[in-house]
Structures are given as C-alpha cells and as structure tokens.
Amino acid sequence: MLWLITGILVTLVVYLLVVVLVNRNRPPGDRISLVSRPKNLEAKLGQTIKITSWNIGYAGLGRGSDFIMDGGKNWFPPSRQTVKNNLGAICAQLEKFRGQILLLQEVSVKSPLSFWQPVRQKIIMSMPDNMALFRPDISTWGLPWPLKIAHGTMTISPAEPASKKLVKLPVEPDFIGGIIKRNYALLVTRFAIENSSGQWVIINLHLAAFDNKGATRQQQFEAVFAFAQEEYEKGNFIVVGGDWNMALTKTDFLHTTNLKHLFWLVDLPKEKLPSGWKIVCDKSVPSVRTNYKPYVEGENYTAVIDGFIVSPNVGVDAVKTTNTGFENTDHMPVSALFSTKRL
C-alpha cells in the first residue's frame, strides 16, 4: 500500500511541475477562432459606421464585487447566481447595440472566475445575425476542467471581414499567480467599404494593467501605432478601440478613494501619437471604476480609460458612454459614430 501512495504522490508532483513549466514557457497563442458565422452577412461596410467597445469583466465584476489584484480581497465573484444575473444584463445591453461593430474585452469561456457560466456562448446567442471572432489573451494548459481558464477579446460584426490578423504586443515580465503569462495582441479586422478603394481597419485591444509604472503599456502603445500608422499610410481608415488601461483624458469625478488604490493608473502618452490622430472618448461619464471594494457611487475612484483613437482620415460624428451605473461590470460601454473623410 505504501508504494501505491508513494507512486500517486510522485505522479502528482511531476504533473504539477509539468503544468507549471509548460504554462510558464509555452509560446504565446496566435490563433483567432471564428466562433460564429451566420449566412447572409453584409459583404461591405458603409462609409459611416458605429462601433461600441466594452470590457465586460467576464461577467464577474458587477457592483457587488471587488478584485484582489486591484487591492480587494477576492478572486471570485460573490456567487454563481450573481454572474448569471450579470451575464443576462450584459447580453440585454449588447442587443441594444445590434447592427454595430462590437469590440469586447475580458470575455471568458467557462472560467472559474465567472463560476463556469458560458459567457462567450451566451453573447454569441444574443447576437445571432453577427460574425464573431475570439482570441484568448489568458489561457492555461494541462489544468483539469474546473481550473481551466480562457479569457480574451472578441470582435462582433454584422459584416464579413475581408481578412483578420493578430499583431502581437510586448508582454509583462511577471506571471499571473506565478504560472500564467498574459499574451497581449491586437485583434485586427479589415472590411471593404462601399464606393471606396480603402478599407476600414478595426483594431480591438486590451493593454496591460499591472505593469510597473506602466512600462509595458508604453511599449505596447508604441507597437500599436507603429502598426496603425503603417496601415493608414496604405490609404486605409483606422479605428483602434478597447480598454487602454491608461487615462484618455483628465477627469474630476467625485470619489473618496485613497490614492494608494490608483497604483495601476497612468496617463496615455498623447505626445507619442502620430500627427493628426485623434482620441475619441466621452469626457462626461466615467468608463471604469476601481475594484478595491464593491462599488459605491461617490466613493470608488472612476476614470475614462475606454475609447478609441482614429487616423486623421476618419471623422468623428458622435461619441457616448452608456451609463450602466457599473451594475453588472466594472466598465461601461463606449459607442462612437465614425465616417470616412477626404484630407
């Protein structure tokens, strides 16, 4: 019996070592999955388009949640039912954006952080007439199903993209939980435009949040616009949208938050933007709240870190953040109306 117990323990230790080593050292994922493709998609986009960007926090960061990496106490949401309620409300809100291009971040695939709710699948089901692409920026290898994690960005569109591409970004030196490396990349989709030789190039991003003094974010920012400027010079119309994890504008929303909980927040380096590029955000409504404690209006610090940056040949006709009161996620959706223009 002793040899059997010893054998089991040795096998378990070897398994754990292999899991840790593989997850720490395997190459970054470079696969974009086509997770929904209905028939009769539009072949082209118009010269005016509407785009909404929203970090949905894997449906686990509603009003009643805090998060340990932001200075809170918990890794997990309050309950499975809480996640289910959040997910239902998120899908209902997304349905109001029907007909738009949606740039979503922190979409999970039956993750423990969302109590194994089918977040990605529920979103797809709520948008049945749309194409959807998904790319995980956090994923695990070798862990059993209850511990398996896959979170990432998802782009949803009523039109068929002419092509899709992944552009890898610099990564943080540290590991999540000492094991998992977050692999950042741009999810790039190109769309033909009616009566135009150029293309809409729509870029979905989610930059680093917990890098020391924003050092990785600075490198990522430079990589984003090295690629975006190159696309603009080809005659394309570029919209970069998502969760920048950097303040897009100065704000003075009411709060009582101790400044130590703002350790992660840095300003977007506007001086590094290529000439003529424009920041597009709603300065009147915050897009994110701090997660060091459950949300209380007027207490949690709020900021504007979600929005868009567009090339000089893109006109901005409107921008608005939908005020959801942070009821079901720690971010609020930002929508903007864009059009092509001649310079």
Summarize pLDDT for 175-206 with one digit per residue, the tens. 665 566 778 999 999 999 999 989 999 999 99
In this structure, what are the phi and psi dihedrals at residue 190, rounded to the nearest 5 degrees? -115, 140
What is the C-alpha to C-alpha distance for residues 2 and 12, in angstroms, rounded to an integer? Answer: 15
pLDDT given for residue 24 in this prediction: 59
Tell me which residue has tokens 């991003």: 205
Which 3 state secondary structure label does DSSP give 123? helix
Q: Where are the domains of the chain?
A: 2-340
Burial (CB count <10 Å: 0-12, 13-18, 19+), residue 78 = middle
Q: How do residues 258-296 score in pLDDT, each as one tens digit?
A: 999 999 999 999 999 999 999 999 999 999 999 999 999
Q: Which residues of the chain have pLDDT under 70?
A: 4, 7-8, 10-30, 140-142, 175-180, 342-343
**How would DSSP label each residue in 58-88?**
GG--STT---GGGT-S-SS-S-HHHHHHHHH
| CATH class of this structure's domain 2-340 | alpha beta
